[in-house]
Each structure stands twice: as C-alpha cells, then as structure tokens.
Amino acid sequence: MSQKIQPSKQGIHAPFGRRSGEEIRSAILDHLHTAAEQTGAGLTAQQIGAAFGIHPTTARFHLERLVEQGEAVRQTRDRKGRSAGRGRPSVIYSPISTNHAGEDMISSLCLALETACPDADSRGRAALKAGQVWGRTLARQSGANAEKNVSSSMSQTLLSTLATLGFAPVMAEPDSSSLFLTACPFLDSVNAHPIICTIHLGMVQGIVEGSSKAARNKRARVSLEPLSSPKGCFLKAAKADNQAKRRAKQ
C-alpha cells in the first residue's frame, strides 16, 4: 500500500502541491480502501475533500479518474441511502478489490468442494451454504442496521459490499431490488470452477439475511443469472410475499 498523505487544512498545495496526480489518486484510493474495510461503505467527494483538505471539486476529479481507471465504482443514492430516484442524490465512491489472494482462496475452496462432493447436487448445496456463511460474515462486518428492509439493504449493505469486492454493481432501475454485476473479480476462475457462481449466489443470500431482520422474517428470495446480459450478471432480491402477490394477479 502506498504511503499515506496526511490531511491538511492548507489545501491541495500542501502537501499535494509537490505530488503528481497519480500519487494523489493513490492516497485517495488508500483512504477509500480503509473506509471500506472499517465501515463497509464508500465515501463522497465532500468527505474525501474534508479528509485531505482539498476542494470537493478537486476530490471529485480524482475520484472520477479512479472510476475511469477501473479502481473505484460510482453509486448514486438519495438521502435515505437508497438508489437515487427523485430529489438531490449523493454520489458515493467505493474501491474495487484487486485481491488476487482472495481469488486463489475461492479457487481452492471450489477445488475442495469438487473433490469432497461426489455429485453435482451435493457440490451445489455445499457451495451455496459456504456462500451464505461468507455473506453473513460480510454483513456483520458492514455494521448494517438489522431493522432496515430489503430495499434499504440492497442500496446500502449489498451495494457497498459488492462494490468493495470488485463486482461493480449497477442498479437496473432506480429504487429497484435488481442490479447488474458489471465486473467479476473471479471471472478468470469461473470457466474452471462454475460453482463459483453458486458460492456468489449464497453470498448475496447471506448478506441480505445477515443485514436485514425484515428480510429474514419475510424470507427474501435472491436469484442470480450469470453472464445473462451484455452488462454482466443479473441479480435480483425480492420478498417472498411480494412474489406471491404478483403470481396471484397473473
């Protein structure tokens, strides 16, 4: 990790005045990673500006460059933390994980499951359960409010966690429980180990379950369609009660 540049009340000219743009962005990216590790959430340009003593416009310029370089992802949310629809939205920036050790770990887990489980059904069940345990752990680490509903969880805990892991989630529609995963940090291993997608499905189920008491009570259902769109994988979380109502109307 690059050397930290300490925040300064004097603004960008001290100490940033003698730093290149890449060095500034490296320091900001380090700060995004630290925030993600500690809180499970991204930061706004205003928060970055306050942390480093620079103008929010300058911070936003560097954050947008990080997005262009594939090192951060941008998410738009309303004041309640949901995917922004009406009103004045806030733009949250989260780092994209480049943890190759994590990819090696997932590949090793897949190999262990494939070796230990003799048939596809048992491998699938084991992979789903492993993912659920992983997801619940991620939800606890995020410090999510257990009283929030599925929609709030999707726009806060789930989006932030998936962005931090490197999936670059994008809401399919404003205030929707559906989203596209436009990147995959484990894509290179998917062909060799297709059950990675099952682990990811379980992970999302675990995040929703672990971050939302309402989701547990209403049995939120999660579906994942790997690489089903030019945009990437399609992910959807919905309350079972709502699904039953829609089926009854059909």
Convert the pLDDT of each residue in 203-216 to its tens digit.
Answer: 998 888 877 655 55
Residue 40 near residue 33, CB atoms below 8 Å:
no
Task: Tell me how many degrees the CA angle 196-202-204 measures, rounded to the nearest 5.
Answer: 105
Q: How would CATH label the architecture of 100-249? A: 2-Layer Sandwich (3.30)
pLDDT value of position 244: 46
What ranges do the domains of the chain cover? 16-95, 100-249
Question: What is the CATH number assigned to the segment(s) 16-95?
Answer: 1.10.10.10
Same fold yes or no, 16-95 and 100-249: no
Q: Which residues of the chain have pLDDT under 70?
A: 1-18, 39-40, 77-89, 97-103, 142-156, 174-176, 212-220, 238-250
Res 122: pLDDT: 92
pTM: 0.61
CB atoms within 10 A of CB 103: 18
d(CA 66, CA 224): 28
Q: In what order do the strands lie in the sheet with 169-171?
A: 169-171, 178-181, 232-238, 221-229
